[in-house]
Structure 1
Amino acid sequence: MVCTWRRMAYYHPYPSVPSVTTVLLISAVTLSLLIWSFSIRPYYRKDATWGSTPLGLRTGMISNGTLPFLYALALKMNPISWLTGISHERLQIYHQWLARIALLFAWIHSIAFLIDDSRPGPPWEMLKKWWTYSPWCYDTGVAALIAMSWLLLSSTRVVRDAGYQFFYLNHIASNCLFLGFYFAHTDDMMHSWRWLWPVVGVWVGSTLGKWVRSGLFVGRGRVVGAQRGYLRIEVEVPRRFRAKAGQHVFLRFPTLRGWQSHPFTIASDRQEEQDSDITHRNLLFLIREAKGLTRTLANAVRSKPGGEQILDLPVILDGPYGSTWKLASYDAVLLIAGGAGISFVLPLLQDLARKRGRHDADFFCQRVQLVWAM
């Protein structure tokens, strides 16, 4: 009761704010595109026979031009990360905001055409025309705009937290619908497909690349039941597999919900670097039972006959992903973890101990403090 009251009375969540650099970059891009769109006049032709609205065409092509970058920023394997060395999770903030920018200009494009085709009457005259005579490009354009808007609405944090698997599957299905309608809507007018085929190429290339890389790391996994709703997973990988402290991988269990892959932090990387005869080593994961895949794993372990809390099964591994920190360059390090969060802190602690034992030249850490709240 006391904990519940403290949670209700004292807990005040603060909204996360992007870094100053991110805010300035996103603001500069948005402002520049808006100035480019609205500073050039006229917005509309004097007569429809002179051609479509310049404002509608311009904003439509701006939205079209953002798509290759939008899709590249969304993928775990993407050319932007290869070129810059920035991990995909740090690029997600740019993917989210670029999606908002693309949708903004798509709506401006649609409204501009709605006003243009209804002239000289009010905008709702266009709705009457659309009801009686609906061109193919309008039908597909409205469908693409609805799919694009739904993609943004269904990607909010509330939806992701309520059901990540729904978000993931919905994101893929809605993207396929959007691209199908958008290809039909643009019909390569003004060479618009020059921006769309790179979208398909980046998406397909990333998917194939993940499949190929995952196929290189297919091994055996062992799930061991633990107390208080925690599971211990050991995955055998080839010695050539390399991961840094704090990185994570995506695990897929073909015999248990094989269509899903979930991220798990590598809690320990058991490797004897001095022994050249070792061909494989084990990665250790400590996870807390929740909904979905982790509960399926826990139930499979508990269902073993004779009370044996061990389950052996094949595992497909994709990764590693994630950024790392050079903690050894600091004088003092404070590590804080709660519950299963120790799986992220533990490899950082092991890395510090390993570097201290090797007397690395870049090791300056004098004090390490670990706080683990259970």
Structure 2
Amino acid sequence: MFTNIDAKTMATYGARFGWMGLANLSLVIFLALKNTPLAFLTAYSYERLNCLHHIAGYTMFVQIVLHASLYTSFFNAQNRLLSIFAEREQIAAIVTGFSLLSVIFSAVFLRRVWYELFYVVHISSWIMAVVSLGFHQPYIAKKSLIIVLFGASMWVIDRTIRASRILYYSFNNEATLYPLPNGGTKIILKKVPARAEAGKHCFIWIPAIRKFETHPFTIHRTGPVEFTVKAHNGFTRDLRKYAVAHPGASVKASIDGPYGTFPDPMEFDKIVLIAGGGGATFTFGLAVNVLERMNEDSHKNVVFIWSVKEHDNLSWFREHLEVLKTHAHSPKVDVSLYVTRSPASPSDTPNQHGSTARSRSSHSSDGVVTPSLSPIGGEAGKSAPQIPPPTHQPALTEKDLEKEFEKAIETRIENKEGPGQHRTTTTTASHGYEHAIKAGRPDVASLVRDAVTTTPPNQRVLVAACGPDGLMRVVRDTTAKLIRGDGPGVELHCEQFGW
């Protein structure tokens, strides 16, 4: 930005900042691509490169501001400011500047607060900035338009690939929705996308919930493809409401993906998986991924740590806990489950049959019955009894809802598992790990330290985590301190998104 400049005036420096900002434009777009070539050249998917996208974006914005400021000062000194601003090219430049300001504002302030609004503002402002930038220097001979067209072409190609994939997987595809206790929703897709793997994520399109939006969720089972979603605001809240009103309903859906990269767990001797709440979608997917690939002679160890707020959240991944239980001896699997909010009464704790009393599990946060039924993989008519959707019956009182749910959890039906089928059960916590549940928050630092320090120096340890910011910070800091020259090889993978 400051070298090889002959006449060192405000105008020449302003021109240099403009060219550097224009060059960074292509880099910003390249680092924002979902289908980036860097995913094939490196071990990082687009979400790992997102921090570089941010840095390039902030740098470009600073360069554009300096470009505009220096030129404004230069023309003002010549008393040509009003005449310059009246030109069509300069009006386009002003539009570009304010559009980029909207892009930066949405990235800094809106992204964490209201992601859907951020996405609309970010993309629309970016399109406006690129178009107006093309009108700012509309001449091919000056070369700047070539850079703008190159960057725009990359973005259009990426969007075309994503739209084509959604269109392809929309034919004869549907999603079955099941409500889960405490604001959870399970999504089961009919079609399995190519390269689908537990632990990766996909963008799901469900037009019945949002016609023009796709949202990313982590795969935790691939036969069929399953997602478990925690309801927050926006799409996930509306998805939850629809699942509660129509439990077991099938809706048109499609998918874009899969995306994401993570270390191959088979290359490690010990795999430490840590999750908080809904972050278990990643760790369960990774655990099942490695257990299905191990044989009986494997000596790998799996340490699985999961912390949830309510006991009912454990039923979200009942089948995965059963898989961990099956492999509890060969290979060795150490499962630790933590419930941070203790039951309010003795009736809330699991009984000797593995069921949970109805006092807290029979109602969702929306005040509607949400039986914690596992998705049914068998034929119609062979599934466990379900509560009729509320839309087909008059409004029920609180006592009626409790009676209906109590009838549902009194039975337990197990189908023979064929290809693509799942064990069917209507109990709330029949996962066989009731004895491993501990009250309170886990001491994550001590658990990670114990897992790594008990590993021989000639072995390798993978620490993978997904969850809230506080949990991830503890995992990162603790693991970093455990990387020593005289200890085992340690690799850390944090699955954390910006949405």
Per the normalisation by structure 1, the TM-score is: 0.76
What is the DSSP-based 3-state SS (H/G/I as helix, E as strand, rest coil) of the residue aligned with 1:162? coil
What is the DSSP-based 3-state SS (H/G/I as helix, E as strand, rest coil) of the residue aligned with 1:246? coil
Q: Is residue 214 of structure 2 the alignment partner of residue 261 of structure 1?
A: yes
What is the DSSP-based 3-state SS (H/G/I as helix, E as strand, rest coil) of the residue aligned with 1:233? strand
- Closer/same/farther in 2, CA of residues 179 and 358 from structure 1, 3 Å limit: farther
What is the DSSP-based 3-state SS (H/G/I as helix, E as strand, rest coil) of the residue aligned with 1:88? coil
Q: Which residue does the alignment assign to 2:34?
A: 76
Q: Which residue does the alignment assign to 2:7?
A: 42
Q: Which residue does the alignment assign to 1:368?
A: 302
Check the 8 A contact 2:186/2:229 in 1, yes or no.
yes
Residue 85 of structure 1 deviates from its aligned partner by: 5.5
Check the 8 A contact 1:72/1:80 in 2, yes or no.
no
Partners in 1 of 2:200 and 2:41 — Cα distance? Answer: 20
Q: Which residue does the alignment assign to 2:226?
A: 284
Query: Counterparts of 1:1-374 in structure 2 under 5 Å?
Result: 34-36=1-3, 40-44=5-9, 53-84=11-42, 86-119=44-77, 129-130=81-82, 134-156=86-108, 158-188=109-139, 190-218=142-170, 219-238=173-192, 241-270=194-223, 282-304=224-246, 309-357=247-295, 366-374=300-308
- Give the aligned residue type for 2:155: W
- Closer/same/farther in 2, CA of residues 332 and 135 from structure 1, 3 Å limit: same
Residue 118 of structure 1 deviates from its aligned partner by: 2.4
Residue 225 of structure 1 deviates from its aligned partner by: 1.1
Partners in 2 of 1:323 and 1:371 — Cα distance? Answer: 21
Partners in 2 of 1:55 and 1:269 — Cα distance? Answer: 55
Residues 215-224 or 310-319, more deviating: 215-224
Partners in 2 of 1:118 and 1:43 — Cα distance? Answer: 18
- Closer/same/farther in 2, CA of residues 269 and 358 from structure 1, 3 Å limit: farther
Tell me the C-alpha RMSD between the 2 structures: 2.2
Structure with more helix by fraction: 1
Check the 8 A contact 1:225/1:231 in 2, yes or no.
yes
Check the 8 A contact 1:221/1:315 in 2, yes or no.
yes
Check the 8 A contact 1:244/1:324 in 2, yes or no.
no
Q: Which residue does the alignment assign to 2:333?
A: none
Partners in 1 of 2:248 and 2:85 — Cα distance? Answer: 66
Check the 8 A contact 1:251/1:316 in 2, yes or no.
yes
Partners in 1 of 2:41 and 2:147 — Cα distance? Answer: 20
Residue 227 of structure 1 deviates from its aligned partner by: 1.2
- Give the aligned residue type for 1:180: V
Cα deviation digits, residues 6-32 of structure 1 (max 9, x gap): xxxxxxxxxxxxxxxxxxxxxxxxxxx
What is the DSSP-based 3-state SS (H/G/I as helix, E as strand, rest coil) of the residue aligned with 2:177? strand
- Give the aligned residue type for 1:328: M
Aligned length: 305
Residue 183 of structure 1 deviates from its aligned partner by: 1.1
- Give the aligned residue type for 2:256: D
Unaligned runs of 5+ in 2: 309-499
Residue 133 of structure 1 deviates from its aligned partner by: 6.2
What is the DSSP-based 3-state SS (H/G/I as helix, E as strand, rest coil) of the residue aligned with 2:112? helix
Per the normalisation by structure 2, the TM-score is: 0.58
Residue 253 of structure 1 deviates from its aligned partner by: 0.4
Unaligned runs of 5+ in 1: 1-33, 46-52, 271-281
